[in-house]
Amino acid sequence: MPGRTARRICLGMTAAAHDLVPPLPSPKPHARRHYADFTGWERYQSFFPESMHCTPDATPREEWWSWSGLDVHLDRMAVAESKIKVIVLHGAGAYGRVMAPAAVLARKHGWETVSPDLPGYGLTEVPRSRLVYSLWVDCVVDLIEAELERDGRPVVLFGVSLGGLLAYQAAARSKKVIGLVATTLADPREREVRRGFARTETLGTAGLWLLESLRGVTDGLPLPMRYMSRMDRISNKPELATLCATDPLGGGNWVPARFLRTLMSSAPDIEPEDFRVCPVLLTHPGVDHMTDISHSRRFFDRLAAPKRMVVLEGASHMPTEPLGVEQMERAVLEFTRELERELPSPLARRACA
């Protein structure tokens, strides 16, 4: 690539960083915020079917998990009789509380859920120098372990958007989950996936090449996710897409260039061809303009594990459309009931313990 082009791209990134003020201050010790006092998340509720709305009797309970020197915010929807536990993972355009409609739906079917705010998103603050993509994987792997130690209930991972890839990578490293559900699965090491993720073709090729080649200079550069990715396509409902792209706790967030660089070069502990950790359900939106369905299908086809793919009719990248949500609910219900039937009896579990 000509040096002039490289300089122009680099200068463009730097200019964007100076034009806007990134909301990534170093966290203050013991400074904890709560969604009970922060109502911005409620604006997402109206975009989901009414059956998924939070109510006074069906709103996640806020918890804090001390992990690796960080205070990780958790939303827990407790269900005492739940046979399994679902860990719900957001992507780069949301945070744990935005996943509350999924928790409400899971509760109706008798499943307990835990939804973390991953480091740098939602209410989980992290020093900018620590924010690399592998921190997300480490966080989820250790959360799986912590939840298993908490009550021994088997864990299912449910990942939305980038959370789907994260769920796969955490399952591959942990090897302690019984099922994996994802709305998208795409290998960021693929050139086409990179180009599809980035807001422009130049950012997806030359821009990412620069982040890797000049990482000693660019790694700490704060970048706005809404300008780096196709955040404007996260939903086919313009109002919801705008909400996601401007929410400073989610898609309107700034991340260090190091996070994007390490995300795009992240390799799983187990390649799909060798992945037999657990069954996989892929529920890819049928009208997804952010992650092309062909990217997920390529990854899905490589999987060695028992698998099933369902295309959600009329659904966008963040599935909120009633028909798509209904299809996803039905597919997840069938998938999870099958997992539950395979569980050993409580007596057998006690004997193994």
Q: Give tens-digit pLDDT for 277-320.
A: 999 999 999 999 999 999 999 999 999 999 999 999 999 999 99
As a whole number of angstroms, the distance between CA 68 and CA 264 comes to 24
What does the pLDDT read at residue 202? 66
Tokens of 244: 């996601």
Tokens of 13: 């990134």
Q: Band of the pLDDT at 20, cuts 50, 70, 90?
A: very low
Q: How far apart are CA 24 and CA 256, in angstroms?
A: 9
Is the pLDDT confidence value at 15 over 80? no
CA distances from 274 to 20, 142, 144, 352 (A): 44, 23, 21, 27
- Per-residue pLDDT averaged across 42-51, rounded? 96
CATH architecture of 52-341: 3-Layer(aba) Sandwich (3.40)
Bridge-based pairing state of the strands 61-67 and 222-224 = unpaired
pLDDT at 204: 66
CA-to-CA distance for 17 and 227, rounded, in angstroms? 11
Q: Is 336's pLDDT higher than 80?
A: yes
Residue 132 CB partners (closer than 8 Å, separation 6+): 258, 259, 262
- Give DSSP secondary structure letters for 22-72: ---PPPPTT----GGG--GGGGGGGGS-GGG--BTTB-PEEEEEEETTEEE
Task: Identify which has the larger pLDDT, 96 or 211.
Answer: 96
Measuring CA to CA, how many Å separate 241 from each of 61, 96, 118, 333? 27, 17, 21, 28
CA 8 to chain CA centroid, nearest Å:
32
Global pTM?
Answer: 0.88
* Cα 147 to Cα 128: distance, rounded to the nearest angstrom: 27
- Which residues make Cβ contacts (< 8 Å) with residue 72, sequence separation at least 6? 64, 65, 66, 116, 117, 119, 124, 139, 143
Residue 175 CA neighbour count, 13 Å, CB half: 6
